[in-house]
Amino acid sequence: MSTLITNIGELMTQDAEGRILHDAAVVFEGERLSWIGAAASAPAADDVVDAGGRAVLPGWVDSHSHLVFAGDRTAEFTARMAGEEYTAGGIAVTTGATRETSDYDLTRLLLGRVAEAVSLGTTYLETKTGYGLDVEHEARSARIASTVVDEVTFLGAHLVPAGISAADYLDLVCGPMLQAVLPYVSWADVFCETGAFDAEQSRRVLEACKAAGLGLRVHGNQLGEGPGVQLAVEFGAASVDHVNYLSDSDVDALAGSWSAGRGTVATCLPACDLSTRQPLAPARRLLDVGVPVALASNCNPGTSYTSSMPYCVTTAVLQMGLSVSEAVRAATYGGALALHRETGEDVDGARAVGSIAVGHRADLQMLNAPSATHLAYRPGMPLTHSVWRAGTAQ
């Protein structure tokens, strides 16, 4: 069945040319975009949706989230807002609650969080393990996530749990735990940060996960300058995420990684930065030297309990120096680039996401506004009108 969306006031494609079309239309057949152009030239279709002059843009690609969890950390948030410094240790609180929650309830919670994200225009989601922190519960989190989200990342190296040494825990992460999650994940991540894992420990995790055939990601440079960015570039990681504190050599390394092909995307997490009262990641500086930037929600119970990509886009425009077009691109094409889903059909047959182009997956959102500029012009307003995920209305 084919669907025509016509009378689009502004169509922001975020394709290779970054086109913005007016008085436009798109057609999709099943989950595949099949035609894009002027509304007056649109072909016939089985179903017609009149956009009424509204804006249409790609669905958000949220390339960094932690959605498989149970429990509540409002006390930690309250303390942080009262002036306490953020540390990585709060993860342990969530680990306990997650381990005690049944498969049924953990799945139900995950489904609810994904539904919230989709209602705000997100059509492609990555999420991580990392709140199980033993072989049984990391494998369970990966299995549950694989039934609900688009991309699953193994983050056993989130924190060393109580009652075990770092050396013994890394033996688990790089051995039985890694083997247990392999059927369910395509990526691996490590929290390379003060209070979590140092450079040597992070290197061990990255080496083991790369040898197992997983794509790599790194949490890095969130709480201060550190080795995360350099390790990410050295290992050819798809992204390094947080990047709040960057030295000149870090910026040079990220830019250099793109000099001869695909490099490492810098993923900025502005909702987390505001919640932890860290300086906002220097997205403007990175873009100016040619480093591709992604925006993601980092939805998690401790430091960024929101899946609102519109909020991240608004923050990027109002406080990080990005234009509306740059912020939307970072939250769509940039996220796809960070997940290696930006072009063509991958080896597993999955269609490209993050941009509106013929052949790509029909992931679209319509705003209750004539242009994407309203995302920043009317901050906090509920502007999501309609969402299609793989060609299906949500």
Cβ atoms of 101 and 291 within 8 Å: the answer is no
Cβ atoms of 132 and 71 within 8 Å: the answer is no
Q: What is the pLDDT of residue 85?
A: 85
Angle at 115 between CA 2 and CA 338, to 5 degrees: 80
Cβ atoms of 382 and 373 within 8 Å: the answer is no
Q: Is 238 left (phi over 0), alpha (psi -120 to 50) or beta?
A: alpha
d(CA 56, CA 102): 40
Q: Which long-range contacts (CB under 8 A, 24 or more apart) does 76-85 make?
A: 76/302, 77/275, 77/302, 77/305, 80/275, 80/276, 80/277
| Locus of tokens 């929290």 | 191
Summarised one tens digit per residue, pLDDT across range 105-162 is 999 999 999 999 999 999 999 999 999 999 999 999 999 999 999 999 999 999 999 9
Summarised one tens digit per residue, pLDDT across range 15-68 is 888 999 999 999 999 999 999 999 999 999 999 999 999 999 999 999 999 999
pLDDT value at 382 more than 50: yes
Q: What is the pLDDT of residue 25?
A: 98
Q: What is the pLDDT of residue 249?
A: 98
**Assigned architecture for domain 2-58+354-393:** Roll (2.30)
Tokens of 1: 């069945």
Beta sheet of 60-62, edge-to-edge order: 60-62, 122-128, 151-157, 187-192, 215-220, 239-242, 265-268, 293-295
Q: What is the pLDDT of residue 344?
A: 66
Kindly report the pTM of this predicted structure.
0.97
Summarised one tens digit per residue, pLDDT across range 345-370 is 544 557 899 999 999 999 999 999 99
Q: What is the pLDDT of residue 88?
A: 64
Tokens of 107: 């799945």
Summarised one tens digit per residue, pLDDT across range 238-289 is 999 999 999 999 999 999 999 989 999 999 999 999 999 999 999 999 999 9
CATH class assigned to 60-338 = alpha beta
Residue type, 124: Y
Q: What is the pLDDT of residue 347?
A: 42
Q: What is the pLDDT of residue 346?
A: 46
**In the chain, what are the domain boundaries?**
2-58+354-393, 60-338
DSSP 345: B
CA 257 from centre of chain:
20
Helix (H) or strand (E) holding 294: strand 293-295
Q: What is the pLDDT of residue 32?
A: 93
Summarised one tens digit per residue, pLDDT across range 287-335 is 999 999 999 999 999 999 999 999 999 999 999 999 999 999 999 999 9
Cβ atoms of 330 and 294 within 8 Å: the answer is yes
d(CA 25, CA 241): 35
**CA-wise closest residue to 284 among 251, 249, 250, 310:** 251
d(CA 229, CA 232): 5
